[in-house]
Each structure stands twice: as C-alpha cells, then as structure tokens.
C-alpha cells in the first residue's frame, strides 16, 4: 500500500443516486473503509427518497460525519430529534428519518455509515 493516497469525490469510486433526482451519494474506498459525500437536494427526505431503495422502515445506518453545507433535521424512531448545520459533527444511531431544511442542498461527509447507504437492504 502506498504511503499517501489521494482521491476526489468528484471522481468517486461509486455514485448512488437517490429517488426522484433528490441527490446522490459519492463513495470512496480507502484502507480505513468507505467514506461518502452525500448531496441531499432541497425536498429530500430519507423516508421518501432512500426508503424505497433500502427497504427498511427507517434508516438503519449509524452515521459519524460532518455537515459541509445546508441544514438537516433528524428524528429518531423514539421521537428524539435535532437539527444539523454547516460545521456540525453528527453522530446518529440506527433507527431514524431525516430531511433537508430550507432551499439549499445539505452536503455531508460520513466515514461511518455510508458503505451500505442507499443500497438495496442497506441504510
């Protein structure tokens, strides 16, 4: 393995589109595991635009990531909720829905939960 590896999300190893053109996940593979950049377009909601792909009642991915831009609301299955915005570190356990707030895309980098995200039988 090389001592230095450089990759770009603009030339992702894999891209997974969300339903209705409401965004995409750009995925890079690394020695430490997958790293994803998701672009959630205004109007995106997990239960509308990823649930049909994942086939689960709520998102079952555990996320540890960083919000680059935009805003998102996350609601856990038990009703707990919060909002994330640009500059926030996010940690979210499995069992949630989420949606974009406002009219700006929400862009997030996730190094924990995007390996199987927006993939059949995934988060």
Band (pLDDT 50/70/90 cuts) for residue 115 is: confident
pLDDT, one tens digit per residue, over 31-70 is 889 999 999 999 999 999 999 999 999 999 999 999 999 9
Determine what percent of the chain is predicted with pLDDT higher than 90.
87
For residue 121, the model assigns a pLDDT of 63
DSSP 11-27: G-SEEEEPGGG-EEEEE
Q: Is the pLDDT of residue 1 over 60?
A: no
92 Cβ neighbours under 8 A, 6+ residues apart? 62, 63, 74, 76, 98, 113
Q: What are phi and psi of 13, to 5 degrees?
A: -70, -30
For residue 113, the model assigns a pLDDT of 81
For residue 13, the model assigns a pLDDT of 97
For residue 123, the model assigns a pLDDT of 64
């Amino acid at each position: 393995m090389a001592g230095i590896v450089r990759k770009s999300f603009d030339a992702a190893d894999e891209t997974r589109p969300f339903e209705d053109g409401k965004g995409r996940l750009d995925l890079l593979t690394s020695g430490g595991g997958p790293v994803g950049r998701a672009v959630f377009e205004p109007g995106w909601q997990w239960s509308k635009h990823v649930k049909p792909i994942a086939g689960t009642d709520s998102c079952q991915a555990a996320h540890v990531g960083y919000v680059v831009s935009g805003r998102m609301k996350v609601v856990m299955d038990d009703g707990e909720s919060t909002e994330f915005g640009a500059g926030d570190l996010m940690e979210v356990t499995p069992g949630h829905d989420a949606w974009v707030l406002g009219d700006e895309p929400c862009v997030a980098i996730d190094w924990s939960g995007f390996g199987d995200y927006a993939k059949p039988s995934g988060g």
